[in-house]
Structure 1
């Protein structure tokens, strides 16, 4: 539930404050956002599975974002577009977690009717 509330607050703040980043930072920001969304969906999944741990969520949320941004930085220095691979991996994980979340919710709806 904490993750969902954080996601909603983040969306509201993102809409309320029109923050622009330099184009050069867009690969870093996009990967960090995908990492944070991945952590949020993982937290929602863990909550539905009744094994959510706030310490794991917080460390994963910030750790994944910084690690992903660091990998993009390293790739940038090496001339390798690492951010593309990171976005693909995070995107796959987000969709996988969403599929599991959807199934868990559908199972709960079926058992309550």
Structure 2
């Protein structure tokens, strides 16, 4: 957990110090890739809470999903068909599913902890 927070902090600092810009023509590809990366991050948090986290699966999913999403957007752009919708629906849906699972896990853990405290008091 400490490494994750440290990585986020380093990323924010580097982003503020080195303002990297890109052409607006790449905005679609980057936004779909970021959505895929967020899906992987939420999936990793969920797996960590369920004690099933595997670093190799996370890293391969993180980069694989981002590349696949950007590739779908690129191919769709070349063909004149909005294929990036497939990535938006797939990764967006899973993102919300993972968030809902994370919420349930955290609420269940909190409820179980509270119940244990009530039992100890009796």
TM bracket (short chain): 0.7 to 0.9
Structure 2 counterparts to residues 87-98 of structure 1, below 5 A: 87-98=88-99
Bigger radius of gyration: 2
CA RMSD across the alignment = 2.2
1:93–1:4: structure 2 CA closer, same or farther, 3 Å change rule? farther
1:92–1:3: structure 2 CA closer, same or farther, 3 Å change rule? farther
Long gaps (5+) in structure 2: 115-122
Higher deviation after alignment, 94-103 or 9-18: 9-18
1:79–1:2: structure 2 CA closer, same or farther, 3 Å change rule? farther
Report what 2:83 is aligned to: 82
Higher deviation after alignment, 20-29 or 79-88: 79-88
Give the TM-score normalised by structure 1. 0.87
Report what 1:66 is aligned to: 67
Instruction: Pick 1 or 2: higher relative contact order, CA cutoff 8 A, min separation 6.
Output: 1
Long gaps (5+) in structure 1: none
Report what 1:8 is aligned to: 8
Q: Give the conservation status (yes or no) of the 8 Å contact 1:3–1:43.
A: no
